[in-house]
Amino acid sequence: MKKGKSIYIRTFQPADARALLALQEENRTFFERASMPRKDVFYTMDRQLEKVKEYEERSREDQEYNFGIFTIESDRLVGTINLFQVMRGPLQSAFRLFPR
């Protein structure tokens, strides 16, 4: 877990599925403007719990890391951040998506 002054990040746990569902539902229109439209089954507890389990598996496999952003004051999920396309070995590095 990494903490700041008002938020912290940590990996998702199965108990976070309800909060993840609420975040997705509350921001559905906004999220779908920047990504693909989702079928209604995506917006269910079962699917969100599945997602958390997939996150755990991908993390164990060192492929992808998914974190929730929570408020310190109320422990409320307010966002997510992900590290994906993890490559290990000689090519291991981070890269920028914007010019200097």
Dist. CA 10–CA 65, nearest whole Å: 10
pLDDT for 86 equals 80
Dist. CA 28–CA 7, nearest whole Å: 22
- Whether the predicted model's global pTM rises above the 0.85 cut: no
Dist. CA 7–CA 76, nearest whole Å: 9
20-41 pLDDT tens trace: 999 999 999 999 898 888 999 9
Residue 67, helix vs strand vs coil: strand
Domain segments of the chain as ranges: 2-83
φ/ψ (deg, to 5) at 11: -70, 155
Using 50, 70 and 90 to split pLDDT, how confident is the model at 51? Answer: very high
Question: Which CATH number applies to 2-83: 3.90.1170.50, 1.10.600.10, 3.20.20.70, 3.40.630.30?
Answer: 3.40.630.30
Q: What is the DSSP letter of 1?
A: -
Which tokens belong to 98? Answer: 């914007």
pLDDT for 28 equals 93
Dist. CA 21–CA 25, nearest whole Å: 6
